[in-house]
Amino acid sequence: MEIFVEVARLRSFSAAGRQLGLSRALVSKHIQQLEQNLGARLLHRSTREVSLTDSGQAFLQPCSASVEHARQARAAIGYDSNILQGSLRLQAPSSFGTEWLADALARFALQHPQLQPSLHLDDQLLDPVRYGFDLSIRVGGIPDSHGLHMRTIAPCRGVLCASPAYLEQHGMPQHPAELSAHRCLHFQHLTQGVQWEFQRGEERLSVEIQPAFSANNGKVLHQAALLGVGIAYNTSFLAWRDLCEGRLLPVLADWQLPLNYFTALYPATRYVSPKVRALIDYLLAQYQPEPAWDKALREAGLSSQ
C-alpha cells in the first residue's frame, strides 16, 4: 500500500522506486500483487506516465490514511526508544541552506547516526506535501497553506548595503527617493515587483527602483555588491560578516525594511513525526531568541531593528 501511494503521488514506477530504495521491477511486482489481491486494476501504465484508474482513485484516499497511520505507529515506537531513524527529506532556500542550515543539519545528523537526512536546496516555493518533503524551510509561508503546520524559526531581515568603492564613486543616498539615481541590485524573492518598502517611525514609503542587476538568489547579489556593482537589497544572514568587517557599508540605516521570518512547514497531521519534531526543536535552539548573525550586527552597532 505504501508503494501504491508513492506511485500514485509521483506518477512513476521508477521515481517511486528511487524514493523507497527499490528497483522499478520490484515496485511493479508489488503493485501487480496488490491488484491481484484486490481483484481490481489500480493503475494505467504507459511508456510516458502512470495514471490512476477509477478503482485506483477510489482506493487512494483510504489507502493513504492507512499508510499514514502505519507511519505514525512506527514513529511512536521510535519516539519511545528515543532513537531517531530513517529518511528525513528537507527543502530550503539555496542561500540560507548553504550558509547556515547545512552546518546545523550536519551537526544534527551526528547526534542521530541512524537518520538519513536529504537536503534539497531550491528557491522556488514548493508545497512539501505535494513534493514529499518532511519539512520545508521557507521565507514566510506558502500561500493557501491548508494541510500544513508552520513554526517560526528565525527572523530574516533585509538590509541595504554597498561596497565602499561604489559609495565613494556614486555617493551615499540620504533618502529612499534618491535610489532612483543609483544602481540597485534587486532580490526578487524578498519584494513585490520592483517596489522597495521603507519605514521610519510612522512614516512609510514605497519606492519603485530600476534594477541594474536582479536575481532570485541572495548570494548572487551579495557577490555583486562586494564587487561594487551597486546597492543590494541583501539579507542580514548573508551580509553580516562583510558589514562587520567593513567590506560592505549599510545604506539608509535609519530606515527599516519589512521584516520577514524563516518558517518550518510540515504536513498537518495529528501526530508529528518525532524526527521532524526533534529537528524543529534543534533549529529553534540554534536560532532563537536571537540568531548569531543578528547578534553580531547588534554588537557591532549595525542593527537598526
Q: Characterize the bridge pairing of strands 231-235 and 184-187.
A: parallel
Taken in order 26, 27, 30, 35, the sign of the CA dihedral is: negative
Instruction: Assign residue 124 the CATH number of its domain.
Output: 3.40.190.290
Cβ 276 vs Cβ 206: under 8 Å: no
Residue that terminates a domain, selected from 18, 53, 80: 80
Question: In this predicted structure, what is the pLDDT of residue 193?
Answer: 65
115 with 172, same domain: the answer is yes
* Structural domain range at position 17: 2-80
At residue 175, the pLDDT reads 95
CB atoms within 10 A of CB 216: 15
List per-block mean pLDDT (blocks of 10 residues) for the chain, which spans 305 residues. 88 84 88 91 84 90 83 61 80 93 95 91 78 86 69 93 97 95 85 82 91 90 96 95 96 92 83 87 94 94 72
Evaluate the CA torsion angle 10, 11, 12, 13 in order and state its sign. positive
Same domain (yes/no): 56, 144: no
Which pLDDT value is given to residue 77? 55
Q: Looking at the structure, tell me whether residues 38 and 173 fall in a common domain.
A: no
In degrees, to the nearest 5, what angle opens at C-alpha 95 toward C-alphas 186 and 195?
20
Residue in the structure block whose three cell numbers are 562583510: 242
Residue with cell 477510489: 58
Same domain, 46 and 97: no
Same domain flag for 285 and 217: yes
Same domain, 126 and 256: yes
Q: How many domains does the chain have?
A: 2
CA dihedral 107, 112, 114, 120 (to 10 degrees): -40
What is the total residue count of the chain? 305
Same domain (yes/no): 276, 231: yes
Question: Could you tell me if 95 and 219 are in contact, meaning their C-beta atoms sit under 8 angstroms apart?
Answer: yes
233 and 94 co-located in one domain: yes
Is residue 42 located within the same domain as residue 152? no
Query: How much is the pLDDT for 194?
Result: 83
Answer yes or no: do 40 and 104 share one domain: no
